[in-house]
């Protein structure tokens, strides 16, 4: 009996030591340390998108909201949460976005925006000032270099109320200019949208903001390609050369976004003495280890930041499933509850890595369009011309795929959240 007890105790201590290893704690430190980035924080400008706040008041208005939210948090009791928190700008300044968050006449990111605007010319006719104002807000984001959420990492922390609506309005404004015959203004406008959101994909500590930035860049890319395909004589402006320049591999990384997600999840679930705000009973010591759980969570989230990720990005190899054990894990003997909780969410993040890779491939395709545009007089077929493009526009893992009629160009997507391919028209 004594031998069995000692053996069980030894197994428990071994398991606990494994869960708290120096390697795991190193991962925790890595995930808690934001990267050094250049430029200014876009938090205030993103938080107040859709509110007609004077430029000189944006930072102060956002700071007021953060302080008010923190006061609300301090006043909470037990497991209460802050509900229905809204910016003070909603009462202090005009709201540019209509009630309900959007207008059906505005473009979605994944549709033919030019065709949509043509069908909705009448309802858009009276919205020029509003659309232009929201486009100006989006274009102003190019002045910043990154996004760091100023709200505390809590599940009840608010998101920008008009995070996706305002970029839709900005794309609609660009398409409207083009539809009216001002080709250069339309091209400039859509390239300003792409330039503003492109850095926020990799340089955001919010997974939500990062993925919205990826979707906005997707929508801007589709619209820009459609404009080029419809007007072979359109001159490519400097703003568009910047917006769709050949990308760096680092632009595909979701490391900073996953760091923010780690801080959010670990702060809510893995606090000493409690779980999700609820005190733990004394016997939970044998089934739950906060420190080991944070380390285990970091193990999954750090997949976006480690050398493995760098290799996959540089080689454009599709990210595989999170490294969950198929069978028994020794560390879980001393952390059964922590293992269960951290294993539930891990597979849900897999597709975000692949979306980052698809974003990089899309930028390569768009840079290729500009390169093809510079050599349109080349008599070779599209496929032969693609074979001559610079190495910076190529992927080691995927090829660009011309359509059978030579009128489209696309690639196979790694993400499984939608269509199998991404493609845009090519001018003939």
Condensed to tens digits (0 to 9), the pLDDT of residues 110-132 reads: 999 999 999 999 999 889 999 99
Q: Sorting pLDDT into bands at 50, 70 and 90, what band is 213?
A: very high
Q: How much is the pLDDT for 326?
A: 46
Count of helices and strands (H, E) across the chain: 18, 5
Q: SS3 for 146?
A: strand
Q: What is the pLDDT of residue 270?
A: 54
Closest CA to 288 of 330, 332, 236: 332
Q: What is the pLDDT of residues 49-58, one digit of tens each?
A: 999 999 999 9
DSSP code at position 274: E
The answer to whether 231 and 183 are in contact (CB under 8 A) is: yes
Per this entry, what is the length of the chain? 428
In this prediction, residue 327 carries a pLDDT of 46
What is the overall mean pLDDT for the chain? 87
**pLDDT tens digit string along 297-321?**
888 888 889 888 889 899 999 987 6
Give the three-class secondary structure for 272.
coil
| Residue 308 · residue 194 · CB < 8 Å | no
**First and final CA of the chain: distance in angstroms?**
83
CB burial readout 38-53, b (16+ within 10 A) else e: eeebbbbbbbbbbbeb
Give the H/E segment covering residue 278: strand 278-279
The three-class DSSP label of residue 52 is coil
Q: Given this model, what pLDDT does residue 18 score?
A: 64
What number of CA atoms fall less than 13 Å from residue 385's CA on the CB side?
19
> How far is the C-alpha of 340 from the C-alpha of 139, rounded, in Å?
44
The answer for 408, left when phi > 0, alpha when psi is -120 to 50, beta otherwise, is beta
Q: Which residue has the higher pLDDT, 229 or 348?
A: 229
Which H helix or E strand runs over 257? helix 255-269
Biggest CA pair distance of the chain: 88
State mean pLDDT over 266-274.
61
Neighbours of 138 (CB within 10 A): 27
Check residues 371 and 19 and name the one with the higher pLDDT.
Answer: 371
pLDDT above 60 (res 7): no
Q: Determine the Cα–Cα distance for residues 421 and 259; give it in Å rounded to an integer.
A: 29
Task: Read off the pLDDT band of 35 (50, 70, 90).
Answer: confident
Helix (H/G/I), strand (E/B), else coil: 19? helix
Residue 283, token pair as written in the block: 């016997």
pLDDT digits (tens, 9 = 90+) for 146-199: 999 999 988 899 999 999 999 999 999 999 999 999 999 999 999 999 999 999
Please provide residue 150's backbone torsions phi and psi, each rounded to the nearest 5 degrees.
-85, -15
Most confident range (mean pLDDT) of 288-292, 334-338, 363-367, 389-393 is 363-367
Asked if 200 contacts 209 with a C-beta cutoff of 8 angstroms, the reply is yes
How confident is the model over 41-51, as a mean pLDDT? 98
Query: Domain locations in the chain?
Result: 2-36+264-351, 43-244
User: In the structure, what pLDDT confidence band is assigned to residue 411 with cuts at 50, 70 and 90?
Assistant: very high
Percentage of the chain with pLDDT > 90? 59
Of residues 428 and 108, more confidence is placed in: 108
Instruction: Give the model's confidence band at 373: pLDDT under 50 very low, under 70 low, under 90 confident, else very high.
Output: confident
The answer to which of 56-65, 379-388, 412-421 has the lowest mean pLDDT is 379-388
Q: Would you state the pLDDT for residue 417?
A: 83
Residue 406: what pLDDT? 78
pLDDT per position as a tens digit, 61-91: 999 999 999 999 999 887 788 998 999 999 9
Distances (CA, A) of 12 to 17, 19, 108, 229, 391: 9, 11, 54, 65, 54
Q: List, in sequence order, the alpha helices (H) in 125-252.
A: 128-140, 165-179, 183-202, 207-230, 238-243
Q: Is the alpha carbon torsion for 97, 100, 102, 105 positive or negative? A: negative
Lowest mean pLDDT of 13-27, 94-108, 406-420, name the range.
13-27
The DSSP secondary-structure symbol of 285 reads G
Q: Is pLDDT above 80 for 101?
A: no
SS3 321: coil
């Amino acid at each position: 009996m004594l031998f069995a007890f000692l053996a069980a105790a030894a197994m428990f201590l071994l398991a606990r030591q494994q869960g708290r290893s120096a390697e795991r704690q190193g991962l925790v430190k890595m995930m808690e340390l934001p990267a050094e980035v250049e430029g200014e924080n876009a938090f205030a400008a993103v938080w107040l998108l859709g509110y007609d706040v004077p430029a000189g008041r944006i930072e102060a208005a956002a700071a007021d909201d953060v302080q008010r939210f923190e006061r609300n948090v301090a006043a909470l009791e037990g497991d209460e949460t802050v509900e229905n928190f809204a910016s003070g700008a909603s009462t202090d300044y005009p709201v540019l976005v209509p009630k309900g968050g959007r207008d059906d006449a505005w473009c979605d990111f994944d549709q033919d925006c030019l065709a949509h605007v043509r069908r909705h010319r009448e309802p858009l006719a009276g919205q020029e000032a509003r659309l232009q104002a929201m486009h100006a807000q989006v274009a102003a984001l190019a002045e910043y270099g990154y996004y760091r959420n100023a709200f505390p990492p809590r599940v009840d922390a608010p998101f920008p109320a008009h995070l996706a609506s305002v970029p839709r309005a900005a794309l609609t404004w660009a398409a409207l200019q083009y539809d009216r015959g001002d080709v250069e203004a339309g091209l400039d406008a859509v390239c300003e949208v792409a330039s503003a959101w492109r850095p926020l994909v990799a340089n955001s500590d919010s997974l939500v903001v990062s993925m919205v930035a990826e979707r906005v860049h997707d929508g801007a890319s589709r619209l820009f390609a459609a404009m080029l395909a419809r007007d072979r004589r359109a001159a490519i402006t400097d703003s568009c050369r910047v917006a769709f320049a050949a990308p760096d591999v680092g632009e595909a990384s979701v490391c900073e976004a996953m760091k923010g997600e780690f801080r959010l999840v670990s702060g809510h679930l893995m606090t000493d003495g409690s779980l999700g705000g609820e005190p733990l009973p004394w016997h939970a010591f044998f089934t739950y280890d906060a420190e080991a759980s944070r380390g285990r969570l970091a193990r999954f989230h750090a997949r976006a930041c480690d050398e493995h990720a760098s290799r996959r990005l540089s080689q454009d190899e599709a990210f595989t499933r999170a490294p969950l054990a198929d069978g028994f894990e020794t560390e879980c003997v001393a952390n059964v509850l922590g293992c269960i909780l951290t294993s539930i969410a891990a597979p849900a993040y897999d597709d975000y890595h692949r979306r980052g890779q698809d974003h990089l491939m899309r930028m390569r395709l768009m840079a290729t369009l500009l390169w093809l545009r510079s050599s349109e007089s080349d008599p070779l077929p599209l496929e032969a011309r693609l074979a001559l493009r610079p190495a910076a526009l190529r992927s080691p893992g995927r090829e660009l795929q011309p359509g059978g009629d030579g009128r489209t160009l696309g690639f196979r997507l790694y993400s499984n959240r939608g269509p199998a391919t991404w493609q845009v028209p090519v001018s003939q």
